[in-house]
Amino acid sequence: MSVKDIQQLIQYVTDSQGTQIGVVVPIALWEQILGALDGGERGLSAIDEDEPKELILSDLEDAVRSTRSGMMLPIEQLWDQVYE
């Protein structure tokens, strides 16, 4: 959903001078926002929730094969890649 789509669904609350002071958000949209923020019920981000199980298993098998063959990286290097 794009920002433009979201803007079309919400309603702005204004004060007597016309200043926006709040937003009314439809429940379905609010639940989507909360799900995106907290990673869903299983603690996974949306991209992980939608990833096919076969792809996850394949990635895990590749990681195990790499580890068994000695293709490992120092933890410091891995953390550096996370924060890039």
pLDDT tens, position by position, 30-61: 988 887 776 555 555 666 667 788 888 898 89
What global pTM score does this model have? 0.42
Token couple for 35: 């799900």
Examine the pLDDT at 78 and tell me if it is beyond 80.
no
Token couple for 74: 């120092």
Task: Tell whether 4 and 36 lie within a shared domain.
Answer: yes
Q: Which domain holds residue 69?
A: 51-84
Examine the pLDDT at 63 and tell me if it is beyond 90.
no
**41, 47 contact by CB (below 8 A):** no
Task: Tell whether 39 and 62 lie within a shared domain.
Answer: no
Buried b (16+ CB within 10 A) or exposed e, 3-13: eeeeeeeeeee
Task: Tell whether 31 and 60 lie within a shared domain.
Answer: no
Number of domains in the chain: 2
3-state secondary structure of 3: helix
What is the enclosing helix (H) or strand (E) of 75?
helix 75-82
